[in-house]
Each structure stands twice: as C-alpha cells, then as structure tokens.
Amino acid sequence: MKKQLQLQDFVDGFKKKDIAILSRAITLVESKNIEHQKLARQIIDTFYKQTGKAKRIGISGTPGVGKSTFIDTFGMSLIDAGLKVAVLAIDPTSQKTGGSILGDKTRMHQLAASKEAFIRPSPSGTTLGGVASKTRESMLLCEAFGFDVVIVETVGVGQSEVTVSQMVDFFLLLMQPGGGDDLQGIKRGILEVADLVAVNKADGDQQTQASIALQEYSTAIKILHHGDSAWTPKVIKCSGLKGIGLDEIWNSVLEYYKIMEKDQQLQFKRDQQLKSWMWSMLMEKVENELTQNDQLNKKLLRTQQELIENKLNIMQATQQIFDSLTHMEK
C-alpha cells in the first residue's frame, strides 16, 4: 500500500521536481473519494498563484490522422529547444464502458522515454464536463510543476473540441490530406474554433493531395473566421512522421502569443475561460449537493417519484427541486 501523502509532501515534491508526486497529485484530482478531493483542493489552493505561465495548446483530429505520431515528434522538437512538455489526453468517446482509445502511453514512444515530458490520459467514464474540469485542474498542476507547454489532446468528435478550445490558448486541428468531403457538416464547428489547421501526412505520395487540402482549408477558414480575434487562423502542411513543418507550426504558435499578448487579449481570453469554468464547477456543486445532502436528496427522490407517477409534470418537478435547493437551512 502506498503511503498516504500530506500537503507538505506535495510542496516538497514539486520543489524537488519529483514527477511521481505530480502524478499522485493528479490522481487525487481525479479521485471521487471525498478525502482525496479535499486534499486535491488544498494542493491546488497552494499552487494556484504559480500557474498561468505555460503555453496551453489543444491538439485534435479524428482517429487515423496521425495524432500520436505528430504529438510525439512535435513534443520532442520542443524538448530539443529546451522546453518541458506535458500531454493530457481527453477521450470522451465511450460513455458507457468508460474505455479509452487515447489511454495508451506507448502511442508516444519518444515522449514516453523523455525525462522532460509527462504524458497523462484523462479519467474516463464521467461526463465531458466533468472530465474537462479535472483536466483543467491537472493542467494547473502541470503549470505549477514547471512545464512550459501543456498539450491537451482530444479525439475528434465535435463536442469535445469545443470544450477543449475553452480551456487552451491555442487550438491546433490536425487534418488528413483528403479534403473535399471532410469540409462539410461535421467539421465546420471544429474549424470555427481552430487557430491553426495542420494538414498532416504531407509526405511521399500524398504531397499533391496535401496541397489541395491546404487550399481548401484556407478557403474554409477564411469564410468561417469571425474577426472577433486579432489572430487570423493559419493552415500549414506538415508530416509528424518525417518531422516536416513542425518549426513553422511552432513559429505560428509563438507569433500567436506575441499578437495576443498585445492589449492583454490573451488575458481577456483566459478570463472568459475562467468564468465559464466557474459555471461548470457551480453546476457540478449543485449536483453533488442534491445527491449528497441527506435532506435535499430525500426531497429529490420524492419529487422524482411524483414525476414518474405523473403527479407532477416536468416543470413542476423542476420548480420543487429548485425551491428546496435555493432555500436550504443554514
């Protein structure tokens, strides 16, 4: 059995750059045990002021686009440039079984072997909102620990991209060299939140295809760009496998920060994200209270029963629960 760590152990461990301690802290963040959660909050409270210095980058793309290889090579190029890189992976694809297709660390051989990197799959089996909140807290811990770049990886299923784009500074979308059909429908909402579209696998036979895709995505981005940001999204060809275009991508990221740090635009973006996060935390808290506070939970169960028995309709039932929640005894 592992020794029960105290707050001071985490403070010491973070100071000594002990990666196992960071890992334990994230495990606490992800835990559903009330005592663990309490300690996790203390840890985050303690390190909160040391956060915010890392570059927060979201990377997404559908399965098969070469995401793992790209992140592996891209991450290593950052490490070669002297940076420390953390990768957090969110995978909400499987709601029922809680299985994960991103969970496997061995997808990124080089990063997994590097002392300057940290790879962590997301907790699975909860709601996307719940996973997002845990990932944010894990991100803060990685920042406080001293990582320069935190990459949040997600699988391309639409809703999760939007969630991730709300917690990172810069959102990179990896695409296939195909184009055409890919542009319709399903990708549109994702293209709208992308700060950079990287057309991957632009090597060997697929170079012509990649150039066509580059053209098409550039047009799409131009149409979808809303002009509410100082940054104009870019489209860049690359190959994670051959290491092509990675410098160009990183230079774009740096250029983005340069532009967004003018007039405190980045700060404004992060402030907005913080507010939304508070909203989701609040909703989570309401849910916890209703299920864990005995008196409230009794009322909830009674109301649900009346709803099912058709004695109350959906509006009346909702109102009843709302009233008990908002007039709790002190």
**Does 29 help bind a second copy (rule: CB under 8 A)?**
no
- Answer for which of 193, 221, 238, 244 binds a second copy (CB under 8 A) is 193
CA distance 129 to 164: 10
Q: How far apart are the first and last CA of the chain?
A: 40
CA nearest to 66, candidates 182, 238, 215: 238
Is 209:179 a contact under the CB 8 Å cutoff? yes
**Does 294 help bind a second copy (rule: CB under 8 A)?**
no
**Does 31 help bind a second copy (rule: CB under 8 A)?**
no
Task: Give strand pairing partners of 86.
Answer: 118, 150
Cα angle vertex 277, ends 271, 281, to 5°?
Answer: 145
Q: Which of residues 115-144 bind a second copy (CB under 8 A)?
A: 128
The contact mask relative to a second copy for 63-92 (x = CB under 8 A, - = no) is xx---------------------------x
Secondary structure element (H or E) that encloses residue 59, with its range: strand 55-61
Cβ nearer to a second copy, comparing 135 with 160:
160
- Answer for which of 15, 184, 204, 205 binds a second copy (CB under 8 A) is 184
Secondary structure element (H or E) that encloses residue 89, with its range: strand 85-90
**Does 103 help bind a second copy (rule: CB under 8 A)?**
no
Task: Give strand pairing partners of 55.
Answer: 149
Q: Which two tokens stand for residue 260?
A: 């967004």
Residue span binding a second copy (CB under 8 A) among the ranges 17-25, 57-65, 69-77, 106-114: 57-65
- Answer for which of 13, 75, 121, 156 binds a second copy (CB under 8 A) is 156
Task: Give strand pairing partners of 155.
Answer: 61
* Phi, psi for residue 147 in degrees, rounded to 5: -70, 140
**Does 34 help bind a second copy (rule: CB under 8 A)?**
no
Q: Residue numbers of the site for a second copy (CB under 8 A)?
A: 41, 44-45, 48-49, 62-64, 92-97, 99, 101, 128, 155-160, 162, 181, 184-186, 188-189, 192-193, 224, 226, 271, 274-275, 277-279, 281-283, 285-287, 289, 303-304, 307-308, 310, 313-315, 317-319, 321-322, 325-328, 330
